[in-house]
Structure formats: structure tokens, C-alpha cells
Amino acid sequence: MGVLTGKKAPLFTAPAVTNGGEMIDAFKLEDYIGKKYVVLFFYPADFTFVCPTEILAFQDKIEEFDKRDVQVIGVSTDSQFSHWKWLQTELNDGGIKGVKYPLVADQGKTISMDYDVLAGEYDWNEEGNFIFEGTPMAYRGLFLIDKNGVVQHQVVNNMPLGRSITETLRMIDALQYFEKHGEVCPADWHEGEEALTPTHEGIAEFLSKK
């Protein structure tokens, strides 16, 4: 699995559905670079089981992301039409109605490949035919992108393992604290707790207080 942390996030233009039902033919990640932080997360498929729990959990915490100037964007290899239908489906029927942040359609799988979260790959078989080997869906990848377009944090889970939205918010807080104060954030740091200066003296002082 590729590591994008510390590198520029791959840009893309793709169809998407936003505001709970508005279809966009050319949704661009670059429109947010320089303006907002971005949490870009991949999920395997619409109308599944773990995926709606994550997607709805992001929506439930959307005010917390807004307060931190973060744009949440979801991506799967489904079509924008599948996204739209799922967004119109009530929760008690397995839908995600009420989700407002963008869901991007990566039918060509190029975005998933660029972020190295595709659970399979294209190859040539012995007969010379171009085929896909594996599962044509994305793992549960999540990428925190700063305002300069650089990936500052990434995590990739296998398909059965849902992610922690609370941990995502903690990582945003840690990044923004470091950007503002220049102090680094130790293990399990949370907003309001003491950080430390990145020196031998700083770590010694921090550990002496524990």
C-alpha cells in the first residue's frame, strides 16, 4: 500500500453528488486547495452495511468539521446515479438520506488507484485481454489534506473494519495545533492538553510531568 503522507494529494475531476441530491459533472478537488482542509475518504460501495454507518457518522459530526474549516468528501467506485439513489433512500430502508457533503463517483477507478486504495488491479491475461483482478472497490482509505494540498495523515482499513470519526477529528486538531504553535503532539494528545517542543529538553520536560 502506497504512502502519500508528506506528498501532494493527487488531484482529480469526476462526477459527484452534493447537497443531498445535486449532481455535478466535474467536481474538482483542486477547488478546495488553498481554501480548506480536506478529509477525503474512500468506501467500498453504496447500499452496503458498514459504509452507511461511516457516512452517516461523518454527517452527524459535520458541524465539528465545519468549525475546523474542513471539507469532508466521500469517494466510491459507484456511479453518481447510484450515489443519488442512495441519498434519496430513507435510513430505515438502508439509505443515507440527509447526507449533504459531496460523494464522488470513481467508476473508472482512477482516483482509487492514484490513492492506492483499490482492492485489485488491471492486468493482461494469457490470452492478451485486459482484465481486472481482485475486487473492483476501494478499501476504507482516509486522507487528511492540508491547505497546501499535502497529505498530512492517512489510514487504510480493510473492508469489514469501520473507521473512527473521533480519531479523524483528533488528528485534525493535532495538525492545526502544530501549524499554529509549532509544538508537536504526543501519543493520545487531545485539544486542550499539553504538547511539547521538538527538542531533547522538551521531551524530557514533558515526560517528567507524567
SS3 196: strand
DSSP letters along 96-163, please?
-TT--S-EEE-TT-HHHHHTT-EEEEEEE-TTS-EEEEEEEEE-EEEEEE-TTSBEEEEEEE-TT---
- Considering just the CA atoms, what is the radius of gyration of the chain in Å? 19
Active-site residue flag, 185: no
Which of 14, 39, 51, 156 is the catalytic position?
51
Which positions are annotated as active-site residues? 51
